[in-house]
Structure 1
Amino acid sequence: MKVVVTIQHPGHVHFFKHAIDELQSQGHEVHVFARRMGVNLDILDAAGIEYEVLAGESDGLASLAKVQATYEARLLARARTIQPDVITAIGGVAAAHVARLVGAESVVFYDTEHATLIKSLAYPFADRVVTPECYDGDAGSAQTTYPGMHELAYLHPERFEPDPSVLDDAALDADDDFVVARFNGWGASHDVGEGGFEDVTEVFDRLEATGAEVVFTSEEPLPDEYQDRRMTVAPERMHDLLYYADAFVGEGATTAAECAVLGTPAVYVNTLTMGYTRELEEAYGLLYNFDGADRHEAAIEQAESILGEYDDAKWAERRERLLDDVVDVTDVIVAEVTGETAPESRLQRAAPT
Structure 2
Amino acid sequence: MNVVVTVQHAGHVHFFKHAIDELTRRGHDVRVFARDNEASIDLLECCNIEYEVLAGSSDSLLSLATAQATYEARLLRRALEFEPDVMTAIGGVAISHVASLVGARSVVFYDTEHATLIRRLAFPFADTVCTPDCFRDDIGSKQVRYPAYHELAYLHPDHFDPDEAVLEDVGLETDGDVVLVRLGDWSSSHDVGASGIEDPIALVEQLEADGAEVLLSTEGDLPDRLASRGFDLESDRFHDLLAAIDLYVGEGGTTAAECAALGTPAVYVSDLTLGYLDELESRYGLVVNCAGDGGTEKALEAARSMLAEPATEFQHRRMHLLTEKVNPTDVILEQLTGDPSAPPRGTDTAEAPPRNVG
| Alignment TM-score, normalising by the size of structure 2 | 0.93
Q: 3-state DSSP class of the match of 1:49?
A: coil
Is 1:232 matched with 2:237? no
> 1:252 corresponds to which residue?
252
Say how many residue pairs are matched: 342
Q: Give me the whole-angstrom Cα distance separating, in 1, the residues matched to 2:175 and 2:29.
A: 46
* AA matched with 1:64: L
What CA deviation, in whole Å up to 9, does each residue of 1:290-347 have, x standing for no partner? Answer: 112232211111112222x24111111111110110011111111111122569xxxx
CA distance 1:34–1:89, change in 2 (3 Å): same
1:271-350 pair list within 5 angstroms: 271-307=271-307, 309-341=308-340
Do the aligned partners of 2:201 and 2:225 also contact (CA within 8 Å) in 1? Answer: no
Tell me by how many angstroms 1:192 deviates: 1.5
- Separation (CA, whole Å) in 2 of partners of 1:198 and 1:209: 19
Alignment match, 1:266: 266
The CA distance in 2 between the partners of 1:130 and 1:271, in whole Å, is 25
Cross-structure match for 1:204: 204
8 Å Cα contact 1:151/1:261 also seen in 2: yes
Code of the aligned partner of 2:108:
V
Superposed, 1:45-64 pairs within 5 Å as 45-64=45-64
Question: RMSD of the TM alignment (CA)?
Answer: 1.3
Q: Over residues 257-288 of structure 1, what are the superposed CA-to-partner deviations in whole Å (9 max), with x where a residue is unaligned?
A: 00011100000000011110000000000000
Answer with 292-301 or 236-245: which moved more: 292-301
1:26 partner amino acid = R
User: What SS class does the counterpart of residue 322 from structure 1 fall into?
Assistant: helix
Q: Is the 8 A contact 1:2 1:84 kept in 2?
A: yes
**Per-residue Cα deviation, 1:50-89 (whole angstroms, up to 9, x for no partner):** 1111111102222110011111111111111100111000
Deviations 1:167-199 (A, max 9, x none): 232112374521111111111111111100111
Contact 1:128 1:144 in 2 (8 A): yes
SS in 2 for 1:108: strand
Q: Which residue of 2 aligns with 1:172?
A: 172
Query: Is the 2:176–2:211 Cα contact (8 Å) retained in structure 1?
Result: no
**Could you tell me how far 1:224 is from its partner in structure 2?**
2.2
SS of equivalent residue, structure 2 residue 255: helix
Asked if 1:5 corresponds to 2:11, the answer is no
1:19–1:334: 8 Å Cα contact kept in structure 2? yes
Cα distance in 2 for residues equivalent to 1:210 and 1:102? 59
Displacement of 1:208 in angstroms is 1.2
The aligned counterpart of 1:351 is none
Equivalent residue, structure 1, for 2:223:
223
Deviations 1:115-147 (A, max 9, x none): 000000000000100000000101221100110
Rounded to whole Å, the distance in 2 between the matches of 1:90 and 1:289 is 24
- C-alpha separation in 2, matches of 1:342 and 1:300: 45
Q: Is the 8 A contact 2:59 2:187 kept in 1?
A: no
- In the other structure, the counterpart of 2:153 is 153
What is aligned with 2:213?
213
Q: In 1, Cα distance between the equivalents of 2:171 and 2:319?
A: 29
Q: Give the 3-state SS of the residue equivalent to 1:4 in structure 2.
A: strand
Partner letter of residue 57 of structure 2?
E
Structure 1 CA distance, aligned partners of 2:144 and 2:333? 14
Is the 8 Å Cα contact of residues 155 and 258 (structure 1) preserved in structure 2? yes
Structure 2: gaps (5+ residues): 343-358
Aligned to 1:349: none
Structure 2 counterparts to residues 77-226 of structure 1, below 5 A: 77-173=77-173, 175-226=175-226
Which protein has greater RCO, CA pairs closer than 8 Å, 6+ apart? 2
* 8 Å Cα contact 2:222-2:230 kept in structure 1: no
Normalised by the size of structure 1, how large is the TM-score?
0.94
Distance 1:95 1:175 in 2: 49
Q: CA deviation at 1:229?
A: 1.6
User: What is the CA–CA distance in structure 1 between the aligned matches of 2:176 and 2:95, rounded to whole Å?
Assistant: 45
Q: For 1:67-78, what aligned pairs fall within 5 Å after superposition? A: 67-78=67-78
Work out the CA distance in 2 between the residues paired with 1:15 and 1:101. 26
For 1:339 and 1:180, the matched residues in 2 are separated by 40
Q: 2:19 is paired with a residue of what secondary structure? A: helix
